[in-house]
């Protein structure tokens, strides 16, 4: 009977030691199945089919506004130069009218610049936003298909740390963007 107690006690001590050993090993070397990848959304956005055409359209619109602004500023400069050279020869009422005209031209130029900026921004959003949505869709598809836990965007300045073990998903996203044209 004593041998049985010693055997059971030894078995109990070995079991406790074995369980403690397993728990300690799990704490030291945890098993992880998480996959983390990263992208650069700015770089990827440039590779989306349609981005070149959208950028060209925005650039052309911007140039049209710049050209029109140059015409308006040239008209203003000519009238201002004429006013400065002739102001001593003008009657007071004509001088005041020309000064008012110059002021109104300045106001028109300022309004035009504001409208131009708003229009360019609106066109940019209208043309670029669908491309951003497409990029988001493809990133989600690749993330699900590849089993990533997380895909960080390196272009986002809020990311302060990126593990060296992260996987660059840019090549997969680029390939998908090039193969699935919309």
Per-residue pLDDT reduced to its tens digit, 66-80: 999 999 999 999 999
Residues 26 and 42 in one domain: no
Mean pLDDT of the chain: 83
Residues 43 and 133 in one domain: yes
Residues 15 and 46 in one domain: no
Residues 41 and 99 in one domain: yes
Residues 6 and 20 in one domain: yes
Beta strands across the sheet bearing 150-153: 150-153, 36-39, 167-168
For range 93-122, the mean pLDDT:
95
Residues 91 and 36 in one domain: yes
Highest mean pLDDT among 34-38, 154-158, 161-165: 34-38
pLDDT band at 25 (very low <50, low <70, confident <90, very high): very low
Q: What is the pLDDT of residue 119?
A: 97
**Alpha helix stretches (DSSP H) within 29-91:** 41-47, 51-86
pLDDT band at 1 (very low <50, low <70, confident <90, very high): low
Of all residues in the chain, what percent carry a pLDDT higher than 90? 47
Residues 116 and 41 in one domain: yes
Among 90-94, 102-106, 108-112, 163-167, where is mean pLDDT lowest? Answer: 163-167
Do the beta carbons of residue 152 and residue 19 sit within 8 Å? no
Residues 53 and 9 in one domain: no
Per-residue pLDDT reduced to its tens digit, 44-60: 999 999 999 999 999 99
Residues 72 and 142 in one domain: yes
Containing 168, the helix (H) or strand (E) segment is strand 167-168
For range 145-171, the mean pLDDT:
75
Residues 14 and 99 in one domain: no
Residues 77 and 154 in one domain: yes
The model's pTM is 0.64
Residues 91 and 152 in one domain: yes
Name the domain count of the chain. 2
Residue 59: which domain range?
A: 32-179
């Amino acid at each position: 009977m004593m041998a049985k107690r010693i055997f059971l006690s030894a078995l109990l001590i070995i079991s406790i030691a074995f369980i403690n050993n397993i728990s300690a090993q799990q704490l030291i070397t945890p098993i992880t199945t998480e996959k983390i990848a990263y992208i650069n959304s700015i770089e990827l956005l440039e590779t989306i089919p349609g981005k070149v055409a959208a950028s060209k359209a925005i650039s052309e619109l911007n140039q049209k506004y710049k050209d029109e602004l140059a015409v308006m500023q040239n008209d203003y400069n000519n009238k201002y130069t004429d006013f400065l050279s002739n102001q001593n020869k003008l009657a007071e009422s004509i001088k005041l009218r020309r000064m008012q005209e110059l002021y109104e031209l300045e106001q028109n130029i300022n309004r035009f610049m504001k409208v131009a900026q708003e229009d360019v921004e609106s066109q940019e959003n209208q043309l670029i936003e669908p491309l951003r949505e497409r990029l988001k869709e493809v990133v989600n598809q690749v993330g699900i298909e590849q089993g990533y836990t997380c895909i960080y965007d390196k272009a986002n300045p809020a990311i302060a740390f990126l593990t060296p073990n992260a996987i660059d998903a840019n090549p997969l996203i680029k390939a998908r963007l090039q193969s699935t044209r919309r």
